[in-house]
Each structure stands twice: as structure tokens, then as C-alpha cells.
Copies of this chain bind each other. A is one copy, B any other.
Amino acid sequence: MRTLIAQTITKIGETITVKGWVNSRRDHGKIVFIDLRDRSGVIQIVFGEEGKTLKPEYVVSITGLIKARPEKLVNKNIPTGGVEMEGQKIEIISQAEELPFDMSKENLEVELPTLLDYRSLTLRHPKVQAIFKVQEVVIDAFRKALKSKDFTEFQAPSIISSAPEGGAEIFEVKYFDYKTYLAQSPQLYKSLLVSIFERVFSVNKVFRAEPSVTTRHLTEVVSLDAEFGFIEDWTEVKDMAEFTIKFILNEVKERCQKELSMFGVEVPEVSEKIPFLKLREAQQIIFERTGRDCRQEKDPSPEDEREICKWSKEKYGSDLVFITHYPTKYRPFYTYPDDADPEYNQGFDLIGKGVEWMTGGRRIHDYKTLLEHVKTWGISEKNIELYLQAYRYGMPPLGGFAFGAERITMHILNLKNIREASLFPRDMERVDFALKTLQPDKKPSN
């Protein structure tokens, strides 16, 4: 009968069996200390010479007596630090080859290519695991937040028949006798589903053939998407986005204290109400604060985003800030032009700690207006027929928002590279391993 390591603190004086991986072994003459790791935690086990049969990452079953540690030997850093096991019986379940690097340190000191080339091993490191615990909570909290608001979860399609908005950065799939593509966003599907379920969300894959290797881009991303109808105006969309992000940050704060402290971070500070301002207003503020004149730009630069976050932090104590009302003509055909000034749209980006966290806005719901935009934007009606169909047969005012699970995980934990926030990151050069080593002689179909 196996006992999980986290439960050993309630078993003092009992002889029990634990199972897991040898996290580390420390020999002190004839005494051998093993740290055993399972999904619930780590425990120190004390052996004599027989402990020397164990090596890092061996999978073992160990029976022994749980004892309270003397006060001065308590390890306050781990929940099981008050106990240790006196090892009595070892059963080796699976051996492990010698490790290519030391896995026992608090920080896994390997470079990014090694981190990824040995992904099946490096993910075992408690601090690497912690990233995905946080990500699981982010995704779970996203679902909880929207379910509490009566949203229906749907499964967005990955294979699409055309690149709806053109777009060079789209992957082509050889589909029997046809060409299909991988969805860059579930935008059109989630919008059309508003005409069915009114309020929808999805946790789905999106694919971007981003032809550059940056610290912020992956080719395959977990997108968290929401969309809902019968809004009165765009601020309802912004408020729902705000509710969702606060809900997520709060859940991470409550459920991931251990993980946050491993990274020495706290969840971003958010003011009671996340401040929001129009792009042109933000640019004016930046101009006044720095003298840098970005007032005609269509998007904030990374420098601008950092500056406006500094302003938000100083003025409102908020690490997060919404920038709204971007120039309509540079945004997708479905974004809703502001009634007061149609040159700018009713869209928003949520900026946190100097980078974009989330994007959203109101969409056009009137069929005729939509058709006009489709023409102006030069979109093929045939390519978006299913989307147009929804509007042709009656669509309420709607809006929504989206963000990437990897990116938000990265920002919460202050990771340097988004690849660290993906279990199996894919980029232009790597799919598990570097493609040039995997496929030295392969060229794609053309």
C-alpha cells in the first residue's frame, strides 16, 4: 500500500511504503541520505550503505519508519521538512541512466537548448514542474470565471478551409486533394457561436507561422478565448475581460503560493478598477513624460508599453492598464468603429508590466455594415461564408477577448523566454528537437 509523500507528516511512528523518483543522494560516510520525490512532494530518507544502490531518477519503492526530525534539523522550506524516513527496504522499480547534468539543485542551471533537448528529464525538476502547475491553474481559473458568468465551453476547430484574412503567417495542411490551413485564431467561430449560445469560451490551439525566433513567439499556442452577445456597449467587454483576468490572478495567488515563491514573484498588483485610456491619450502622456512623439503611431512600441505601465503604476498602483481605441483601418474587418470617432475602434489591449497580455473589443453585428467592411478590407466573402451566415440570420451586439496561456504564465512568473512556459514548445526551428538535425535531408512539399 503506497503512501503519498505529502501524507507522511501524519504517519509519525508508522512503517509505510513510499514510491517515487530519487531526487538526490548525499553520502556522509556510511550514512546515505536520499531525497525521494513523488507527485505530492519530497521526503528525506536515511539509509546505511545499502542506500548506495540508488542513483538519481531511479524509480523506487521504499518501506521504512517515519520519524519526527529533531527541532534543529527541521527543513522549513518544504511541507514534509518536519519528518524523515528511516529506510528499511528498497525495491528498485526502474533504473535510470546517468544524468547528463545535475538535477538536484534548487535552480536547474542549463541553457535553453539543453532545457528543451532533455525535455522529458528537465520537466521533472520541481521548479520547471511549477510552471505548469501555475499554467494549469490559469486555464482552470479561466474556465471557472466564465462558467460563473453563464458562458458555454466549446471546442474550436483547428483545420480551416481558407486563410480568412489572407495572412502570410498561416500553416498549410495537405488535406487529401485539397489545401487547408491551421487556424490562427478561433475568432470567426467564437463570434458566430454567439448567435447560438450567446456566451462562449474555449481553450484551444492556435497556430502562427511566425517566421522569426523571438523570446515571445511560439508557432503553437494555447489560446483562451471568450465572446458574448447582447452587450450595451464596448465597456461591458472590457469589464468582462477585467473580471476574468482578476479572477485568474486571484486563483493563482491563492492556489500557487509555493510556486510563486519558488520564482520569487508575486502576482501583479491590480487596482480596484484597472485604468483605461485611449491610444491617443496614452501617446500624449508618453510625449509629455518623455518628449518622445509617438502621437501618430498606429500601435504603441514596446518602449511605449513600458512607459504607460510605469505611468499606470505610479498613478493608480496598477501593474495592468487597458489601452483602447486603435485606428480602425489597421485592425481586422470585424472590429467596431467608435460611434463618436469611427477612425478609431472600440478595441482594447491589456498591457501588463510593459507587454501585451490580452486583446479584445466589440465587433460589428449589423450584417450590412459587416458586408461593407468586408469589401473595404478586401476579404473574400466566400472564405467567411459560415461567419456571414450567422449575421445574415440575426446577431446581437457582441464582443470578446483572447489571450495566450503561455504568455500569461510567462508574465506571472517573470520567465525570460516563452519557451519555458510551454511543455513542448514549437518554433520555426524546433519541434521537440531542432528540425535541422531531425530532418537534415528533408525539404517540404512545394
**Are A392 and B155 in contact (CB-based, < 8 A)?**
no
Would you give the shortest CB distance from A105 to chain B, in whole angstroms?
Answer: 17
**Are B389 and A121 in contact (CB-based, < 8 A)?**
yes
A211 is an interface residue with CB less than 8 A from chain B: yes
| In-complex Cβ contact of A120 among B155, B161, B389, B432 (8 A) | B389
Would you give the shortest CB distance from A2 to chain B, in whole angstroms?
Answer: 7
A209 is an interface residue with CB less than 8 A from chain B: yes
Q: What chain B residues lie within 8 Å of A391 (beta carbons)?
A: 94
Q: What residue of chain B has the Cβ atom nearest to residue A219's Cβ?
A: B159
Would you give the shortest CB distance from A406 to chain B, in whole angstroms?
Answer: 9
**Are A439 and B93 in contact (CB-based, < 8 A)?**
no
A39 is an interface residue with CB less than 8 A from chain B: yes
Copies in the complex: 2
Would you give the shortest CB distance from A104 to chain B, in whole angstroms?
Answer: 14
Would you give the shortest CB distance from A31 to chain B, in whole angstroms?
Answer: 24
What 0/1 readout, one digit per residue, does chain A (169-205) give for beta carbons within 8 Å of chain B? 0011111111110100000010011011111000111
A296 is an interface residue with CB less than 8 A from chain B: no
A311 is an interface residue with CB less than 8 A from chain B: no
Would you give the shortest CB distance from A4 to chain B, in whole angstroms?
Answer: 8
**Are A174 and B174 in contact (CB-based, < 8 A)?**
yes
Partner-binding segment picked from A132-140, A239-247, A269-277: A132-140
Partner-binding segment picked from A250-258, A337-345, A393-401: A393-401
Q: What chain B residues lie within 8 Å of A160 (beta carbons)?
A: 431-432
A21 is an interface residue with CB less than 8 A from chain B: yes
**Are B161 and A432 in contact (CB-based, < 8 A)?**
yes
**Are A230 and B19 in contact (CB-based, < 8 A)?**
yes
A99→B393 CA distance, assembly (Å): 8
A114 is an interface residue with CB less than 8 A from chain B: no
A265→B161 CA distance, assembly (Å): 35
A396→B443 CA distance, assembly (Å): 38
Partner-binding segment picked from A80-88, A284-292, A315-323, A380-388: A380-388
Q: What residue of chain B has the Cβ atom nearest to residue A189's Cβ?
A: B424
21 CB contacts below 8 A, A to B, read A2-B230, A39-B198, A93-B397, A94-B391, A99-B393, A121-B393, A123-B196, A124-B196, A133-B152, A136-B154, A154-B423, A155-B222, A155-B423, A158-B182, A161-B432, A161-B435, A176-B428, A176-B444, A178-B439, A179-B442, A382-B438
